[in-house]
Structure 1
Amino acid sequence: MNIYDIAKLSGVSIATVSRVVNGSPRVSEKTKQKVLAVMKENDYTPNVFARGLGLDSMKTIGIICPNIADSYMAKAVAYLESSLHSYGYDCILGCSGFGQEEKQNYVNMLLSKRIDTLVLVGSTYAGNGKDEYDTDYIREAAEKTPVFMINGRVRGDNIYCACADDYQATYEVTKALIRRGRKRILFMYDSDSFSGRKKREGYEAALAEANYPVRGELKFRTKNDIEYTKNLLLEYSNLEFDSVVATDDAMAIGAVKYAKVKGLSVPEELTITGYNNSIMAVSCEPELTSVDSKLNVLCKTTVDHMISLLEKQEEIEKNVVVPCEIVKRCTSDF
């Protein structure tokens, strides 16, 4: 019986077995106990090779995002790579798309590369909020290597999450519109992701607090695309609303373009707010009020915690929530 046999029986890599032997904090408690049980059942005594194998870091981090063409994702990946390179780590990037099978395949592919940790960028990896089965593959990955999530949250050992406080930010934006007398506030979104759900909950909480009804027709699903959103709003031209809370800047700019076509003055007749405070917000005319979700802080927190775990073997927070900032510009009057 050798280390390869133990790894095979345990369903983990030989590097993971070595980490268990050496008491590395990079292995989840569940995986550790499973490997130790297999070792005990087979009377396995680690030799010098087993103790030494895998101790040296590969200095490689796996990063997965659903769509690198998205400005939010691209900015996150750029920050992560730059910061990790400063610590001497290389990065392997995968663009998984949004499909369940594709996401699982990319995670498994990167795990096969003997990465030190895995970073998942975006709330799509946190599942649909209804069933836990769609995040089981993340918990399984965390049995083999630490998993860090940016703006997504999955419960499990060896999983670390940094999220923007999307609930509070959207709540505050909606409350600000209500204080200005807005009655029919259109909520525009493109997905029911973890982040999307938190934003919707914040919107609904602000309405409920003001005794406003939550109207189904004012929860408007679109795509994160300027022209598509403009055209869809024009298609639903009978829909009455006096303000827009959009979950991304591209949707909000689509609403600005819609207002121009309809001859509506912004913000007097139609107040519009976006999200993520992207370069598009200041390129828009008029410039767009937008929520800064502090992506740079999320990424910095992730890297700092990762280095603390990998190189200092320190205990780190499992869940970090970062406050957002409402950046007021010309499309709002609050």
Structure 2
Amino acid sequence: MAGIKDVAAHAGVSVATVSRVLNDSPRVSRETRDKVQAAMRALRYRPNAVARSLRTEATRTLGLIIGDILNPFFAVLARAVEDEARAAGYTVVIGNADERPEQQDHYVRTLLEQRVDGLLICPTAEITPLVEDGVRSGAPVVFLDRTLPGLEVPSVRADGTEAIHDLVRHIHRLGRRRIAFISGPELLSTGRERTRAFHDAMRACGLDIPGEYVEAGDFQAASGRAIAARFLDLPEPPEVIFAGDNLMALGALDEIRSRGLRIPDDVALASFDDVAWFVHLDPPLTAIAQPAEELGRRAVRVLLDRVEGRPVESVVLPARLVIRRSCGEGETT
């Protein structure tokens, strides 16, 4: 395998000049840079990333720890993070926490040991020692989608409060009053925020919330199906089921269909988190869409600002309601 000395000899320059080209030094002319890069291509030379990182204390890699790789929202988020990082010359290493603190900590430890330049974390439900130690050590960390109270870490997330108010107002205008909510886990910031917004929106419309109409799931389809079953078995079942994320909405949909019920005639259904295939359901599903792609791109920019020592601020982007026929009205946006 060709080495840096071979490249220098082939290009007719010094080893130091080749090193400057590899490190994007402005002290190299365009003509010389082109000559060195042509030599690299001819010799199929590949820089030793490990050796370079030891010299520069930078690996040009970022770590991303997501909550659940099977959740379509996180898949879109990860794709956007990779695209933005690659455009900036970085590689992304992804870890799937599977919503488990111990698995999150495994990836925090592994990625920091691999000396990633910065770390994006969609945190699980609690502050863990490794996350806290990583933050307090000064490692560039940015929280994505969720936050952890008690840690001063910049975050990039969506706010669905107004969109949830829009949804409840829309349902109210359609003449439906009995709305049940499959909330997310109370320990997650997203679960708390959506539950609080739902209660506020119902009160603003003058609608009652019976205690049995709100139950917490775990952002998985099985919990959505089980809770929907309990709602539908009530003496006075709800007219609308609102699921706090797309997987729980899928579970609720399965339960509704298994009973031979029609959407929206027998019961309406809405979801927090829009998914591309929601438009292909019959009827298409009303949903609250988070700007997942923009969240991923902005998170990378904020993290790179931290890596490069620039001041940063948290970013909050609005979610929006996408009205389709699952709640009883023709499709609009």
Q: TM-score, normalised by structure 1?
A: 0.73
How many pairs does the alignment contain?
273
Counterpart of 2:206?
211
Question: In 2, Cα distance between the equivalents of 1:146 and 1:256?
Answer: 41
Q: Structure 1: which 5+ residue stretches go unaligned?
A: 1-51, 129-133
Moved more, 264-273 or 204-213: 264-273
Counterpart of 1:220?
215
Report if aligned partners of 2:144, 2:157 keep a CA contact under 8 Å in 1.
yes
Report if aligned partners of 2:160, 2:320 keep a CA contact under 8 Å in 1.
no
Does 2:84 align with 1:88?
Answer: no
Counterpart of 2:304?
307
Shift, 1:119, TM fit: 0.6
Percent identity, please: 22
Residue 163 of structure 2: SS of its match in structure 1?
Answer: helix
Shift, 1:98, TM fit: 2.4
Does 2:328 align with 1:333?
Answer: yes
Shift, 1:249, TM fit: 2.4
Question: In 1, Cα distance between the equivalents of 2:64 and 2:170?
Answer: 37
Counterpart of 1:74?
75
Shift, 1:191, TM fit: 2.2
For 1:148, give the aligned amino acid.
Answer: V
Q: After superposition, where does 1:102-121 map in structure 2 within 5 Å?
A: 102-121=103-122
> Aligned match of 2:134 in 121, 135, 141?
141
Shift, 1:255, TM fit: 3.3
Q: TM-score, normalised by structure 2?
A: 0.73
Residue 159 of structure 1: SS of its match in structure 2?
Answer: coil
Question: In 1, Cα distance between the equivalents of 2:150 and 2:54?
Answer: 27
For 1:77, give the aligned amino acid.
Answer: A
For 1:290, give the aligned amino acid.
Answer: A
Question: In 2, Cα distance between the equivalents of 1:148 and 1:280?
Answer: 30
Shift, 1:222, TM fit: 4.0
Q: CA RMSD in A?
A: 2.7
Does 2:176 align with 1:182?
Answer: yes
For 1:188, give the aligned amino acid.
Answer: I
> Aligned match of 1:154 in 128, 148, 159?
148
Moved more, 192-201 or 299-308: 299-308
Report if aligned partners of 1:167, 1:200 keep a CA contact under 8 Å in 2.
no
Counterpart of 1:131?
none
Question: In 2, Cα distance between the equivalents of 1:270 and 1:197?
Answer: 25
Question: C-alpha deviations, 1:34-55, integer Å up to 9, x for none?
Answer: xxxxxxxxxxxxxxxxxx9875
- The verdict on how the C-alpha distance between 1:299 and 1:153 changes in structure 2, with shifts beyond 3 A counting, is same
Larger Rg: 2
Question: In 2, Cα distance between the equivalents of 1:189 and 1:155?
Answer: 20
Report if aligned partners of 2:180, 2:242 keep a CA contact under 8 Å in 1.
yes
Shift, 1:261, TM fit: 4.2
